[in-house]
């Protein structure tokens, strides 16, 4: 059975094995998963996965946001599927052939599609050839549906989009949401603007919450993770 702490994916947004190991030890048992992004993975390679495995029983999310020709993505996913990680990401804009090739090679690995990056604005979409009449919300739903049809297990999306995607795409599809901010933990110089509290995000249908700075920059990161889990428990 899924525990409140299993909803928490801690974003290991650090640049060295030492810093990652510090957080993996500190947060062991208080979060369900650790997310390794491109910067850390490029620095450490698969050794980072081995290190986390030795320290913690938490699952691992390798956030590589793949996007290439189907054969290349298929081979890369096949390698990732041998690394003992739970989730990896790829861009839904790669289309059915790329997503389907990846799904065919994923084994026990769950593929999460990135629909539209939250940093992408309507003018960015127009500039890269999208019809001006397409709004970002319709594109998010269209790509989420494409990802589901191609065999992906879920999407990374804003918590503000979660209930809409859930309604349109249905259950049995993971919604993984960053931009989470507990009301009691203020992140200084925050670059996230479309935010939601952990409790509300889970109430709106998020299956997993990606949380970085509200935990990493807290005076007591472990206490912050435990408090977030309590907040989640209250709405389950
Ligand atoms: O909680 P915090 O804002 O620090 O979390 C940042 C993490 O969430 C980073 O790892 C970032 O890549 C990820 N993320 C995001 N916005 C998205 C998708 C992922 O902030 N749209």
Model pLDDT, residue 40? 98
* Nearest CA residue ID for atom 6, ligand 1: 212
Of 108, 57, 66, nearest to 86 (Cα)? 108
Atom of ligand 1 nearest to the CA of 179: 3
**Residue 96, exposed/middle/buried by CB under 10 A (0-12, 13-18, 19+)?**
middle
- pLDDT per residue as tens digits for the range 170-203: 999 999 999 999 998 888 888 877 889 999 999 9
At residue 135, the pLDDT reads 86
Q: Which of 210, 216, 224 to mutate to test the pocket of ligand 1 (most atoms within 8 A of CB)?
A: 210
Average pLDDT over residues 1-30: 97
CA distance 152 to 80: 15
Ligand 1 mean position to 189 CA, how many Å?
14
Segments forming the whole domain that contains residue 60:
4-233
CATH number at residue 54: 3.20.20.70
CA of 13 to the centre of ligand 1 (A): 9
* Closest atom of ligand 1 relative to the 117 alpha carbon: 21
Residue pair 110/174 in contact (Cβ under 8 Å)? The answer is yes
Please state the domain count of the chain. Answer: 1
Residues 126-174: tens digit of each pLDDT: 898 888 888 888 999 999 999 999 999 999 999 999 999 999 999 999 9
Query: Which is more confident, 133 or 78?
Result: 78
pTM of the model: 0.96
Helix axis angle, 17-27 to 47-55, nearest 10°: 30
């Amino acid at each position: 059975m899924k525990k409140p702490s299993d909803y928490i994916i801690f974003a290991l947004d650090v640049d060295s094995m030492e810093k990652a190991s510090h957080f993996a030890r500190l947060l062991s048992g208080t979060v369900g998963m650790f997310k390794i992004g491109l910067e850390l993975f490029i620095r450490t390679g698969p050794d980072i996965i081995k290190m986390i495995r030795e320290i913690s029983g938490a699952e691992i999310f390798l956030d590589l946001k793949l996007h290439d020709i189907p054969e290349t993505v298929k081979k890369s996913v096949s390698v990732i599927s041998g690394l003992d990680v739970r989730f990896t990401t790829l861009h839904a804009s790669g289309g059915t052939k790329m997503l389907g090739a990846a799904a065919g090679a994923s084994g026990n690995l769950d593929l999460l599609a990135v629909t539209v990056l939250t940093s992408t604005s309507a003018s960015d979409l127009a500039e890269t050839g999208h019809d001006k009449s397409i709004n970002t919300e319709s594109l998010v739903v269209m790509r989420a549906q494409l990802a589901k049809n191609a065999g992906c297990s879920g999407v990374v999306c804003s918590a503000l989009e979660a209930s809409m995607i859930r309604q349109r795409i249905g259950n049995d599809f993971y919604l993984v949401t960053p931009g989470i901010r507990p009301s009691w933990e203020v992140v200084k110089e925050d670059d996230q603007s479309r935010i939601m509290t952990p409790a509300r995000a889970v109430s709106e249908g998020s299956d997993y919450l990606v949380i970085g700075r509200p935990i990493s920059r807290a005076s007591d990161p472990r206490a912050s993770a435990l408090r977030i889990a309590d907040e989640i428990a209250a709405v389950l």
